[in-house]
């Protein structure tokens, strides 16, 4: 904790701030400069809003110097985490593709999807069973019946399963049928859900919220890890900006930044990141070139008739092309594919 006093701060103001810091449990070192007095506080607090001190009289600014996350930081495990699901390793040399439809619709649809996914060389199938939608008048997902269908199709094709958990009450179902539990962008700061996922012993994939900073994403991972579940995968899927030619603006630089800040695997979702099928391939290539450990993409046997997210869903032949090209790019930057 560094507190910088204003140029004209009085002795009384400085002492009041010191008193406050001591009261909060900090040991304080004072450093008097030519223009500014700086107070260094060493203390026990993990969660602290610097604004609490910045509103005190005479304070210019306050900087937290200890990261608010620990378990998720790169220094906690410099070699990097590899999340393993059977033979699948996320965070290792190989770039892992996770693909499938937005929603699980029918047995035939998910079976065909699994075949497409497996044939093209992907290792994980995705598909949602719970689909609360932005309109109250839409398809809401098949629930447990859908999870059974995706599990069976995955098993037939030797795939692992990733599926979204929307609420803590759904955790037991997801643990039963899915290999990776996905937390959607809108739930990234659903702290109750994150806490419950900390008690689970299956990998959790956390998607970045559309208005979340990378520090906030890492704090969400910390939430899960602080419960004892260290198998967390982070996913960039686009942030909201002023640009409207894509649904969101995919922040590709999040990938190298996260790889530096944390030991956790980082994957990218170019389907939600762009919202339009034609941009999914180039953005998948960009993500792999920038160092992503995996991709999460939507593919459907017949995207024009998908019940949800059709516009951003790849056709089977596009997906095959994506798999070929990402393998070539992965090889070019020295990764397996």
Residues 37-56 that bind a copy of itself (CB under 8 A): 38, 40, 42, 46-47, 49, 51-52, 54-55
User: Is residue 314 close enough to count as binding a copy of itself by CB under 8 A?
Assistant: no
Neighbour count for residue 269 (Cβ, 10 Å)? 31
User: Is residue 10 close enough to count as binding a copy of itself by CB under 8 A?
Assistant: no
User: Is residue 60 close enough to count as binding a copy of itself by CB under 8 A?
Assistant: yes
Q: Give 80 or 291: the residue with its C-beta nearer to a copy of itself.
A: 291
Shortest separation between residue 170's beta carbon and a copy of itself, angstroms: 10
Shortest separation between residue 171's beta carbon and a copy of itself, angstroms: 13
Shortest separation between residue 193's beta carbon and a copy of itself, angstroms: 9
CA angle, residues 289, 295, 296, in degrees to nearest 5: 155
**Angle, helices 316-332/277-289, rounded to nearest 10 degrees:** 20
Q: Give 106 or 138: the residue with its C-beta nearer to a copy of itself.
A: 138
User: Is residue 106 close enough to count as binding a copy of itself by CB under 8 A?
Assistant: no
- CA-CA distance, 124 to 98, in Å (whole number)? 4
User: Is residue 156 close enough to count as binding a copy of itself by CB under 8 A?
Assistant: no
- CA-CA distance, 116 to 110, in Å (whole number)? 10
Q: Give 181 or 255: the residue with its C-beta nearer to a copy of itself.
A: 255
Q: Give 10 or 213: the residue with its C-beta nearer to a copy of itself.
A: 213
CB within 8 Å of 322: residues ≥ 6 apart:
280, 281, 284, 297, 314
User: Is residue 2 close enough to count as binding a copy of itself by CB under 8 A?
Assistant: yes
Nearest to 322 by CA among 90, 122, 89, 123: 122
Does residue 198 contact residue 170 with C-beta atoms inside 8 Å?
A: no
**Quick one: CA dihedral 136, 138, 144, 150, positive or negative?**
negative
- CA-CA distance, 285 to 270, in Å (whole number)? 9
In degrees and rounded to multiples of 5, residue 296 shows phi and psi of: -125, 110
Nearest to 97 by CA among 78, 71, 125: 125
Size of the site for a copy of itself (CB under 8 A): 107
Q: Give 82 or 329: the residue with its C-beta nearer to a copy of itself.
A: 329
User: Is residue 152 close enough to count as binding a copy of itself by CB under 8 A?
Assistant: no
Shortest separation between residue 277's beta carbon and a copy of itself, angstroms: 5
User: Is residue 190 close enough to count as binding a copy of itself by CB under 8 A?
Assistant: yes
Interface pick for a copy of itself out of 107, 111, 144, 216 (rule CB under 8 A): 216
Q: Give 112 or 249: the residue with its C-beta nearer to a copy of itself.
A: 249
Interface pick for a copy of itself out of 121, 289, 318, 321 (rule CB under 8 A): 289
Q: What is the largest CA-CA distance in the chain?
A: 76
User: Is residue 199 close enough to count as binding a copy of itself by CB under 8 A?
Assistant: no
- For 11, counting Cβ atoms within 10 Å of its Cβ (0-12 exposed, 13-18 middle, 19+ buried), the class is exposed
Interface pick for a copy of itself out of 95, 122, 160, 252 (rule CB under 8 A): 252
Neighbour count for residue 111 (Cβ, 10 Å)? 17
User: Is residue 80 close enough to count as binding a copy of itself by CB under 8 A?
Assistant: no
User: Is residue 321 close enough to count as binding a copy of itself by CB under 8 A?
Assistant: no
User: Is residue 8 close enough to count as binding a copy of itself by CB under 8 A?
Assistant: yes
- CA-CA distance, 159 to 170, in Å (whole number)? 22
What would the two tokens of residue 255 be? Answer: 């990938």
User: Is residue 250 close enough to count as binding a copy of itself by CB under 8 A?
Assistant: yes
Shortest separation between residue 169's beta carbon and a copy of itself, angstroms: 8
Which value, in Å, is the radius of gyration of the alpha carbons in the chain? 23
Question: Which range of residues in 98-106, 121-129, 175-183, 235-243 is near a copy of itself by CB under 8 A?
Answer: 235-243
Neighbour count for residue 94 (Cβ, 10 Å)? 17
User: Is residue 230 close enough to count as binding a copy of itself by CB under 8 A?
Assistant: no
- CA-CA distance, 36 to 13, in Å (whole number)? 13
């Amino acid at each position: 904790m560094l507190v910088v006093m204003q140029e004209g701060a009085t002795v009384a103001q400085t002492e009041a701030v010191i008193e406050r810091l001591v009261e909060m449990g900090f040991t304080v070192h004072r450093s008097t400069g030519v223009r500014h007095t700086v107070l260094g506080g060493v203390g026990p607090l993990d969660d602290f809003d610097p604004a609490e001190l910045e509103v005190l009289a005479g304070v210019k600014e306050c900087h937290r110097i200890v990261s608010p996350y620990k378990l998720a930081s790169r220094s906690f495990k410099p070699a990097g985490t590899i999340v393993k699901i059977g033979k699948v390793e996320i965070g290792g040399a190989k770039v892992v593709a996770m693909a499938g439809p937005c929603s699980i619709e029918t047995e035939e649809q998910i079976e065909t999807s699994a075949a497409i996914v497996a044939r093209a060389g992907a290792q994980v199938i995705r598909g949602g069973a719970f689909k609360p939608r932005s309109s109250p008048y839409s398809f809401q997902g098949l629930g447990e019946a859908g999870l059974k269908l995706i599990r069976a199709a995955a098993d037939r094709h030797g795939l692992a399963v990733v599926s979204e958990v929307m609420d803590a009450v759904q955790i037991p179902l997801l643990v039963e049928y899915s290999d990776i539990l996905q937390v959607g962008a809108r739930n990234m700061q659903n702290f109750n859900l994150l806490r419950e996922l900390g008690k689970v012993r299956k990998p959790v994939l956390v998607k970045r919220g559309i208005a979340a900073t990378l520090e906030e994403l890492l704090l969400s991972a910390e939430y899960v890890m602080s419960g004892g579940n260290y198998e967390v995968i982070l996913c960039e899927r686009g942030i909201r900006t002023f640009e409207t030619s894509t649904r969101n603006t995919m922040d590709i630089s999040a990938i190298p930044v996260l790889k530096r800040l944390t030991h956790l695997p980082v994957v990218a979702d170019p389907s939600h990141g762009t919202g339009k099928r034609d941009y999914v391939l180039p953005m998948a290539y960009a993500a792999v070139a920038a160092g992503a450990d995996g991709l999460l993409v939507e593919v459907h046997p017949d995207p024009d008739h998908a019940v949800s997210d059709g516009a951003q869903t790849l056709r089977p032949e596009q997906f095959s092309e994506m798999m070929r090209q990402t393998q070539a790019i992965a090889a070019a930057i020295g990764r397996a594919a």
